[in-house]
């Protein structure tokens, strides 16, 4: 369930894609298209193309693609619903929901988010000006957090009183509960969840306040840290502290630094590393990785040494394979407790640690070998066995072989001996990244025909048939178009590689082409394939069901195809033959 499908289509139809993209990209007109520098990768020559008429965009450089909703999602880091709501507001369209229940839930969430925003402001102003926050201000200054930092990260102070926030904001009990801001205590009184703590507001990727992290002042009683419990707005397995501020820098740097605490994020930013985020009292999850991959392909773990080394190898390698990310580890110097500590004592060392981060497997091997005594043959053998175990966990054969060679040289053993006994090491030899296919040339008859089917469907819809397409992706594109009323519908039903081809064709300028001539070329190519198969069959005696007269008839029809005056008639004769032969390959059908 969600926004009514007809409303989504109304939003798409009402949106001027060129205007939406033009707010982020400097576009210039090129024929009937718009072109500019891609906002999703660094380039000097424009490869980003927009077809405002059809409502789609495509980058020939990085293969990013989509419609107005996709563009808003990717550039503003919104979910699907948020992107549709944004475009609907722009177009003045009122959205309806498939169920009254879901509409009510959306309104409820909006109310909770607004309440959280008010709480952030209330706590923040309390820290800045309230006398009871003097000790908190002194503590933050001692940590190097001046007024600029406090305002940038909207830090706050929760006073000692039992219910000061709930009373000041006049929170109903259900709103206090659902936001995690308060609860009903044993005396049946509404009580604040956070008391006598410095607060770090937690925002989701689009900038909505969803939770808080709190820290007591030095010497105070109670647990040092306290985070908001799971709520209608907050799941710590989804949310990353600081992503709302860091996302632009993450995209610019092509990497995200992941640490464990709020103060680590602030310290990294102060050290000139603003592309940092933190998990909120949990380990890095697959949902975190999926979110981060929307912004950058490189993830640098800046945990303490034990935390980074103990990350489950199987999970890390699985993430690298599924999400096409590279996981690196920033090795903090010995004695550094965490990034926040190092940012204060030696920011240059922190920057070096991130800049010189090593791949996850390399980090694990270095930790193993750096601490191992390698003086005796027996010690080197033990180290080799331990290293081989780590290497064998990696799913990529090329990676395993390369690291095995490096470790073998370091330990003075032969690579084949190092990995002996590991069996079929790893779980898959599939490379972590697939190499993009060569760009297809639209000048081929099949691609010209598909381009016409996208841009001028009325010109070719009655002339095309799936038997004319030999390439599986091109066949899939034709089938998707033939079975759909609109291009959008075809894209939604198509396989990823088919959708990519259709989007590329949608944003390309279509050269003036005679539909009849294009179809003639397609039929010519399909007939030539049949001729070649027949020739082999006659020569080898493997096509006893075929009439030899068919061979001569096909050659005559091909000659007709290549004559402008007889092309249309030849197409009318050959297409039924090709269809019938495809349905009954051993038939010698002749029209």
The CATH number of the domain covering residues in 100-227: 3.90.980.10
CA–CA gap between residue 524 and residue 529 (Å, rounded): 9
What's the pLDDT score for residue 68? 93
CA–CA gap between residue 144 and residue 159 (Å, rounded): 22
CB 395 within 8 A of CB 317: yes
Burial of 102 (0-12, 13-18, 19+ CB in 10 A): middle
- Beta strand 298-301 with 326-329: parallel, antiparallel or unpaired? parallel
CA–CA gap between residue 169 and residue 479 (Å, rounded): 58
The length of the chain is: 591
Structure tokens at 254: 């092509």
Candidate CATH numbers 2.30.40.10, 3.90.580.10, 1.20.120.530, 3.40.50.720; the one for domain 5-91: 3.90.580.10
CA–CA gap between residue 232 and residue 238 (Å, rounded): 13
Helix (H) or strand (E) holding 329: strand 326-329
CA–CA gap between residue 201 and residue 362 (Å, rounded): 36
Longest dimension (CA), the chain: 102
pLDDT for 513-564, tens place per residue?
Answer: 788 888 888 888 888 888 887 777 666 665 555 566 777 788 888 888 888 8
Here the contacts of 222-225 (C-beta below 8 Å, separation 24 or greater) are 222/196, 225/281
Confidence of residue 443 (pLDDT cuts 50, 70, 90): low
CA–CA gap between residue 108 and residue 114 (Å, rounded): 10
CA geometry: angle 430, 386, 305, nearest 5 deg: 85
CB 32 within 8 A of CB 53: yes
Tell me the mean pLDDT in the region 311-327: 81
Residue 428 has pLDDT above 50, yes or no: no
Residue 111 has pLDDT above 70, yes or no: yes
Residue 179 has pLDDT above 50, yes or no: yes
What's the pLDDT score for residue 96? 82
CA–CA gap between residue 486 and residue 475 (Å, rounded): 17
What's the pLDDT score for residue 15? 93
Q: What is the 3-state secondary structure (H, E, C) of 284-324?
A: CCHHHHHHHHCCCCEEEECCCHHHHHCCCHHHHHHHHHHHC
Helix (H) or strand (E) holding 225: strand 225-227
DSSP output for 247-292: HHHHHHHTEEEEES-HHHHHHHHHTT---EEE-SSS---HHHHHHH
CB 469 within 8 A of CB 460: no
CA–CA gap between residue 413 and residue 520 (Å, rounded): 65
Burial 130-152 (b: 16+ CB within 10 A, else e): eeebeebbebbeeeebeeebbee
Ranges of each domain in the chain: 5-91, 100-227, 243-364, 445-583
**Residue tagged 């640098």 (tokens):** 300
What's the pLDDT score for residue 440? 42
- 10 Å Cβ neighbour count for 90? 16
CA–CA gap between residue 383 and residue 400 (Å, rounded): 16
pLDDT for 399-416, tens place per residue?
Answer: 999 999 999 999 888 888
What's the pLDDT score for residue 406? 93
What's the pLDDT score for residue 537? 67
Tell me the mean pLDDT in the region 187-215: 94
Beta bridge partners of 158: 197
Helices and strands: H and E segment counts in the chain? 28, 16
Q: Which residue has the higher pLDDT, 462 or 394?
A: 394
Residue 429 has pLDDT above 60, yes or no: no
Q: How far is the CA of 301 from the CAs of 164, 268, 306, 324, in angstroms? A: 39, 13, 12, 16
Residue 112 DSSP SS3:
helix
Burial of 583 (0-12, 13-18, 19+ CB in 10 A): exposed
Under CATH, which architecture does the 243-364 domain have?
Answer: 3-Layer(aba) Sandwich (3.40)
CA–CA gap between residue 407 and residue 380 (Å, rounded): 11
276 — alpha (psi -120 to 50), left (phi > 0) or beta? beta
Residue 511 has pLDDT above 70, yes or no: no
CA–CA gap between residue 101 and residue 94 (Å, rounded): 17
């Amino acid at each position: 369930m969600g926004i009514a499908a007809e409303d989504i289509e109304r939003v798409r139809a009402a949106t001027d894609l060129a205007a939406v993209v033009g707010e982020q990209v400097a576009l210039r007109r090129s024929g009937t298209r718009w072109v500019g520098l891609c906002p999703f990768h660094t380039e000097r020559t424009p490869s980003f193309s927009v077809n405002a008429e059809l409502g789609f965009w495509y980058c020939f450089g990085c293969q990013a693609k989509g419609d107005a909703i996709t563009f808003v999602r990717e550039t503003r880091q919104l979910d699907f619903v948020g992107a549709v709501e944004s475009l609907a507001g722009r177009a003045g369209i009122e959205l309806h929901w498939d169920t009254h229940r879901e509409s009510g839930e959306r309104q409820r969430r909006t109310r909770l988010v607004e309440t959280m925003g008010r709480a952030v402001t209330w706590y923040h102003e309390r820290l800045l000006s309230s006398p009871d926050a003097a000790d908190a201000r002194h503590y933050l200054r001692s940590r190097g957090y001046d007024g600029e930092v406090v305002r940038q990260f909207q830090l706050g102070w929760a006073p000692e009183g039992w219910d000061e926030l709930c009373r000041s904001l006049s929170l109903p009990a259900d709103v206090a509960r659902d936001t995690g801001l308060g609860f009903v205590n044993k005396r049946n009184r509404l009580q604040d969840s956070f008391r006598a703590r410095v607060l770090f507001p937690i925002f989701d990727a689009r900038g909505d306040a969803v939770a808080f992290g709190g820290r007591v002042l030095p010497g105070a009683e109670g647990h040092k840290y306290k985070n908001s419990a799971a709520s209608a707005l907050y799941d710590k397995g989804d949310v990353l502290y600081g992503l709302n501020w860091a996302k632009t820098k993450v995209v610019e740097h092509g990497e995200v630094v992941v640490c464990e605490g709020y103060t680590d994020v602030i310290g990294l930013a102060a050290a000139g590393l603003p592309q940092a985020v933190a998990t909120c009292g949990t380990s890095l999850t697959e949902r975190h990785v999926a979110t981060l991959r929307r912004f950058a392909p490189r993830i640098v773990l800046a945990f303490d040494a034990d935390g980074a080394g103990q990350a489950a190898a199987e999970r890390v390698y699985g993430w690298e394979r599924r999400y096409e990310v590279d996981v690196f580890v920033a090795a903090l110097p010995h004695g550094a407790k965490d990034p926040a500590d190092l940012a204060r004592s030696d920011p240059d060392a922190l920057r070096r640690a991130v800049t010189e981060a090593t791949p996850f497997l390399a980090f694990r091997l270095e930790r193993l070998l750096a601490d191992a005594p390698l003086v005796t043959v027996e010690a080197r053998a033990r180290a080799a066995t331990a290293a081989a175990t780590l290497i064998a966990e990696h799913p990529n054969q090329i990676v395993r072989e390369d690291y095995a060679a490096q470790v073998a040289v370091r330990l003075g053993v032969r690579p084949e001996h190092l990995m002996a006994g590991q069996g079929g090491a790893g779980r898959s030899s599939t490379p972590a990244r697939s190499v993009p296919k060569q760009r297809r040339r639209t000048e081929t008859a099949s691609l010209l025909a598909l381009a016409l089917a996208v841009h001028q469907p009325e010109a070719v819809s009655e002339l095309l048939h799936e038997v004319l397409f030999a390439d599986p992706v091109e066949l899939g594109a034709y089938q998707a178009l033939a079975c759909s009323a609109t291009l959008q519908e075809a894209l939604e039903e198509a396989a990823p590689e088919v959708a990519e081809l259709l989007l590329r064709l949608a944003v390309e300028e279509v050269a003036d082409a005679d539909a009849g001539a294009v179809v003639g070329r397609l039929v010519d190519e399909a007939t030539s394939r049949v001729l070649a198969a027949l020739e082999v069959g006659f020569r080898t005696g493997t096509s006893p069901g075929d009439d030899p007269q068919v061979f001569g008839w096909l050659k005559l029809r091909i000659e007709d195809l290549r004559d402008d005056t007889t092309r249309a008639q030849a197409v009318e004769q050959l297409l039924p033959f090709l269809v019938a032969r495809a349905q009954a390959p051993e038939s010698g059908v002749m029209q």
